[in-house]
Amino acid sequence: DAGVIQSPRHEVTEMGQEVTLRCKPISGHNSLFWYRQTMMRGLELLIYFNNNVPIDDSGMPEDRFSAKMPNASFSTLKIQPSEPRDSAVYFCASSSLVNEKLFFGSGTQLSVL
């Protein structure tokens, strides 16, 4: 199994641009999570899905952030418009159930200039 796959690994963009981060969970996993990590705030849960349905998006910082999961094998996290304070590492994780152990991807390092 290839594990959780995230793309791109690195993204550098300018303020105001749209950014789309992608995630392919482990096949057969029913729950998907998006986390953001910064030095100041640590590892924060942004949103999670169960069976492709968003369960809790209370961690999404602003309306500029949106996440979708159109099918069981793909999810996106979009930031529009991006701002320098969005610079962080964004992790996607999946699990067979919400309360089972998480498997994390390698993350996307986002830099907004």
Q: Which of 50, 52, 73, 111 binds another protein (CB under 8 A)?
A: 50
93 binds another protein (CB under 8 A): yes
Stretch that binds another protein, among 15-23, 42-50, 67-75, 77-85 (CB under 8 A): 42-50
Q: Which of 60, 91, 94, 112 binds another protein (CB under 8 A)?
A: 91
- Beta-bridge partner residues of 44: 36
Size of the site for another protein (CB under 8 A): 21
In this structure, what is the dihedral angle of CA atoms 95, 109, 41, 47, given to the nearest 10 degrees? -40
Cα 51 to chain centroid, rounded: 16
Closest-CA residue to 22 (of 2, 3, 8, 1): 8
Nearer to another protein, 10 or 80 (CB): 10
